[in-house]
Amino acid sequence: MKNKNIIQYLQDYGSFIALIFLVVVISIISPDFRTVNNFLSLLRQSAINGLIAFGMTCIILTGGIDLSVGSVLALTSIICAHTIKIGLPAPLSMLIALIFGIILGTISGLMVTKSRLQPFIATLITMTGYRGLTMILSGGRPISRLGDNFLLNQIGKGSLIGIPIPVWILIIFFAIFLFVLKKTVLGRQIYATGSNSKAAELAGINTNNIKLIVYAVSGFMASLSGLILVSRLGSAQPTLGSGYELDAIAAVALGGTSMTGGRGKITGTLIGILIIAVLNNGLNIIGVSSYYQDVVKALVIFLAVISDRNR
């Protein structure tokens, strides 16, 4: 019985233990890793993947997946930059980008619910289409010289009481997602939809509406991440967001959310985000080649998925 309790404990808190282990080991290997500036930089870098991963968590909880988030990020970034260049105020352009993020996410949701396509296929289609629209709108070139607007500059490069603004945004949305998933009817309906869609429908839950909501939320989170990137880079590039969907899915898997839906926690996703950020940052500081970094990340994700299957 005691051994069973230990195994259960390791399964429940394995990702957190892994995060602590990684931080300790890399700190011992490289003193540069454990500096305050490096930790702040690590958190700033993790904010973009984190925001996308929060939206991805909700989708995976319903039993779906969203491959289009990287393309949504790129397209809404270009839309923001393009509207600024034609003379619209930067705050209005940012709002338009966020609205388009919701619309693009909803289109993916409609393809899943109304067209009854598998989420993988539906979002593969939108991923490809949105990336093509990004190239058409931008002409395949970056859009730079976006002016010196305070809000646009601060969202990606500013800080408050020494903590980067992107980190504050990550904390705020973590609190929102935590509250919604744990304390609201919508949160319970999201879990129910992923756990057993047929039973949820018999209980009176409109599962199609729930899926539309989570895909719209995912589009919004991707577009918000895009605005942070535009602020940091000072330009919008058509190649932005490439591969970001994979890092988001990896963070969700590392956090213990079941890839078949119905089980998982946003706190686990946050830990998964930090594990990926620590791996990327630590391996860069140690001087490990990016090729080997991809292999290490693949192994970590593989272990996380195997652990989920065992649970």
Note the pLDDT of residue 169. 95
Decide if pLDDT at 3 tops 60: no
Decide if pLDDT at 53 tops 60: yes
pLDDT digits (tens, 9 = 90+) for 124-157: 999 999 999 999 998 889 888 887 888 888 898 8
Residue 83 CB-half CA count within 13 A: 17
Nearest to 48 by CA among 164, 167, 143: 167
User: How would residue 1 be classed by pLDDT, with cut points 50, 70 and 90?
Assistant: very low
Q: Tell me what the pLDDT averaged over the chain comes to.
A: 88
Residue 261 DSSP code:
S
Mean pLDDT to the nearest integer, 110-126: 93
Are the C-beta atoms of 194 and 261 separated by less than 8 Å? yes
Q: Which residue has the higher pLDDT, 188 or 241?
A: 188
SS3 track for 156-171? HHCEECCEEHHHHHHH
Note the pLDDT of residue 310. 64
User: Which residue, chain included where needed, has tokens 């690590």?
Assistant: 42
Decide if pLDDT at 305 tops 90: no
Q: Which residue has the higher pLDDT, 161 or 1?
A: 161
Specify which residues 163 forms β-bridges with: 160
Decide if pLDDT at 2 tops 60: no
> Could you write out the DSSP letters of every residue in 15-77?
HHHHHHHHHHHHHHH-GGGGSHHHHHHHHHHHHHHHHHHHHHHHHHHTT---TTHHHHHHHHH
Q: Which residue has the higher pLDDT, 280 or 306?
A: 280
Angle at CA 18, nearest 5°, toward 243 and 244? 10
Q: How far apart are CA 74 and CA 130, in angstroms?
A: 8
pLDDT digits (tens, 9 = 90+) for 83-112: 998 889 999 999 999 999 999 999 999 999
Decide if pLDDT at 166 tops 90: yes
Decide if pLDDT at 233 tops 50: yes
Residue 64 DSSP code:
-
Radius of gyration (Cα) for the chain, nearest Å?
20
Note the pLDDT of residue 33. 85
pLDDT digits (tens, 9 = 90+) for 253-283: 888 888 888 888 999 999 999 998 988 888 8
- Which stretches of 62-89 are DSSP H helices? 69-85
**Model's pTM, two decimal places?**
0.92
How many residues would you count in the chain? 311
Percent of the chain with pLDDT over 90: 51
Q: How far apart are CA 81 and CA 91, in angstroms?
A: 11
Decide if pLDDT at 243 tops 90: no
Mean pLDDT to the nearest integer, 195-216: 92
Q: With H, G, I as helix, E, B as strand and everything else as coil, classify residue 290.
A: helix
Residue 143 DSSP code:
E
Q: How far apart are CA 88 and CA 95, in angstroms?
A: 11
User: How would residue 173 be classed by pLDDT, with cut points 50, 70 and 90?
Assistant: very high
Decide if pLDDT at 4 tops 80: no
